[in-house]
Every structure is written in C-alpha cells, then in structure tokens.
Amino acid sequence: MYELSANVEWLFTEAGPECADRVRLAADGGFHAVEIWTWRDKKLPAIRSALRETGTQLQTICVDPMGELTDSRSHGVFLAGLRDSILVAEDLGSPFLVITAEGQPTDVAPEDQRAAIVDALRRAADLLAGRDVVLLLENLNSRVDHLGTFLDTSRATIQVLREVGSPAVRMLYDAYHSLVMDEDPSNELADSIDLVSHVQIADVPGRGEPGSGQIDWLGQLTALRQIGYDSMIGLEYQPTGETAQSVRTIVEIAARA
C-alpha cells in the first residue's frame, strides 16, 4: 500500500496552533510522516522533540524564504534561504526541501524568466552536493490558486528539470494542481516518473479531502503505481470536517491502489 504523509498546516489542526502538537495528533491517528511549509515561524525545538518522541518522519519543508526563481535579481534571497533551510532539514531529518516558480516580473521576458529558473536550480544543485537533502520543484496551477504563476504545467516543470540535469533537484508532483490544469497524471508522467520524488494530492474541485470532489483516486493512484511511482503520497488538502474523519476514504484507497 502507499504510505501517507499528513500536511499539518491543514490537517490535525484540532490539536491547536502548535505544529508539534499536530505532529503528535497525526502520530496518534496512525501517520508515520508529516509535512510542513515555512519553518521560520515555527518552534523548531518543539517540532524536533515531537518527531523524535513519536518516531515520525518529516517528509517535506519549504525553502524559507523562497525568493522568486523567475527573477535573477532575487536569486541571492533564494540561495541564502536554501543554505539555511538545508541545515534545518538535516536537523529535523527531512529528505526534501520544496520550491516553486511563482511570479512573473513584468520587466523580464518569458525566455529570460525560464533561463533564470534553470540557473537558480543549477546553483542550488551545487549547494546540495554531498548533502542528504533533495530540492523538489513543485508544479502549480494558474487557474484557481496561483494566477499568473510561471511553471503551471507538469510538462514545463519536467522540461526545466531535464535541463538542470541534477539528481539533487527533482519534482514534487502535485496532482491537485495538475488536475486543475486538466492534465492526465499518468500521461504527463509516463516518460518522466524518474524525476518524481514525491506526490501530493487533494480533490478537485475545492481542494478538499479525496472523496469530497470528482476525482477517481483509486484509478489515479493505481495509474501512478503502474508507471512506476511507489513512494509516499502527501495529503495536502483542506478538510471539510474533522481530520480523522476526512482521512478515512484515502486510507482505504491507498491500501487498495
């Protein structure tokens, strides 16, 4: 079965505002892995203690701050944030750092924005050399949640990663964003699954829990398995009710896929 990772920015908020308490509640709910976004606004020693006490894996955190990959003028911000985030990821035992390519500076031509993304990721790969942390570039949708984002399709994200050409920089495939863009995940990834190190899901429409929308998640996860993805599935959705109830459907599907 697929192992599931709970994003505790949105899930297990019943535990209160502290991330460490959400980690513990997720562990009590049967999860062995969790995910977070930014880290500078969190109590890292408390999170570290909660992870170690419960034996929980921190699957992903975001580079903080990200800067804008599309604008070479902000690459200093990105690289400084990456250096700091690598240390945090190593300290908390997270194998993955996440980055996105949002923003389109109006004074930079599209081809120069793409070149800036590739350059930033190549420089990131140099910083990651010899470390136990991989940088994941995430696809986002430009229709609902991230209007105007530059890399808004899986194919464009994959092409950038092929050009970067480093095992230190891989893809976080977010099926929610892909489906919002009317993509067929199995078609988009059939010849590129080697680039995918992590997958996240939420239902469409609404970005709620799997089962709240229109997606056949048994079919989607089975298709991912058939093209070669057998790693963790991250749950990054906004529950329509209590978290423990919202995960039941996807836990059953993951066991069957």
CATH code, 67: 3.20.20.150
Q: What is the pTM of this model?
A: 0.97
Q: Interior CA angle at 235 toward 233 and 237, to 5°?
A: 150
Predicted local confidence at residue 34, as pLDDT = 99
Predicted local confidence at residue 103, as pLDDT = 81
Predicted local confidence at residue 102, as pLDDT = 87
Burial of 129 (0-12, 13-18, 19+ CB in 10 A): exposed
- For the chain of 257 residues, list the mean pLDDT of each consecutive stretch of 10: 96 98 98 98 98 98 96 96 98 98 88 97 97 97 94 96 98 98 93 97 98 97 96 98 97 94
Predicted local confidence at residue 23, as pLDDT = 98
- Side-chain half-sphere exposure of 195, counting CA atoms within 13 A: 27
Q: How many domains does the chain have?
A: 1
Predicted local confidence at residue 250, as pLDDT = 98
